[in-house]
A and B are shown apart, each in its own frame.
Chain A
Amino acid sequence: SQKIEQNSEALNIQEGKTATLTCNYTNYSPAYLQWYRQDPGRGPVFLLLIRENEKEKRKERLKVTFDTTLKQSLFHITASQPADSATYLCALRPTSGTYKYIFGTGTRLKVLA
């Protein structure tokens, strides 16, 4: 069956450290993969998109990698701050013929001051 898996357990890290979140998928060959941030009671906020032919994408303190062999994406926040505390969602576009995104359940990140 098709699955997108993110660590359901919360990730606690110290301020200033790099947070690394994982997204694994099974039985998909996604053309695109995205990362979103979601705060409690709010809608997802788009952060980064990476395409299947891209290995890495960066935006300020954020970095995403995409390994289609391992069927995994890693999301890094460097020099993390308490304001980065939120739930981070990965979402993939299953094929190039669709415009819908399938979301993972998200990983809650807490950055401790």
Chain B
Amino acid sequence: EPEVTQTPSHQVTQMGQEVILRCVPISNHLYFYWYRQILGQKVEFLVSFYNNEISEKSEIFDDQFSVERPDGSNFTLKIRSTKLEDSAMYFCASSLDRASTDTQYFGPGTRLTVL
């Protein structure tokens, strides 16, 4: 069964450094999402992406964050200057098309630790 993959599984970085989290959505999916989950807290929406542009973003997704689909398979989340409070699990998700955006398939997540 096709699945969303994410790399790395765990990223440790120093405060102020840039990080790029990578995702490979399911191959024929057109909508892509990033969510985060701070330890012990709820899953929070960050951004959705369709047709090479951001569809929606939350108030968490400020100027420090950016997303990109650099090629036909990868979908990346960049945090320009990490802060301690960016430490969380980051989940990528994808869905097939506009009619199916409610069925979002999540990846296994990247655990980001900012020291």
Contact = CB atoms under 8 A, between A and B. Distances in A.
B43 A42 contact: no
13 contacts: A36-B106, A41-B109, A43-B4, A43-B108, A43-B109, A89-B42, A99-B31, A99-B55, A99-B56, A100-B33, A100-B45, A102-B45, A103-B43
Interface residues of A, number: 23
Interface in A85-113: 89, 91, 93, 98-106
Interface of B: 4, 31, 33, 41-45, 48, 55-56, 58, 89, 91, 93, 101-109, 111
List the 7 closest A-B pairs by CB distance, nearest first: A43-B106, A103-B43, A100-B45, A105-B42, A99-B101, A103-B42, A43-B91
A102 B4 CA distance: 20
A100 B89 CA distance: 18
Which of B48, B89, B102, B107 has the most chain A CB atoms inside 10 A of its CB? Answer: B102
Contacts of B111: 41
A104 B58 contact: no
A16 interface: no
Interface in A22-49: 32, 34, 36, 38, 41-46, 49
B52 to A, nearest CB: 16
Contact of B106 (A45, A98, A99, A105): A45
Contacts of A41: 89, 109, 111
Contact of B45 (A42, A43, A46, A101): A101
B109 A49 contact: no
A41 B106 CA distance: 13
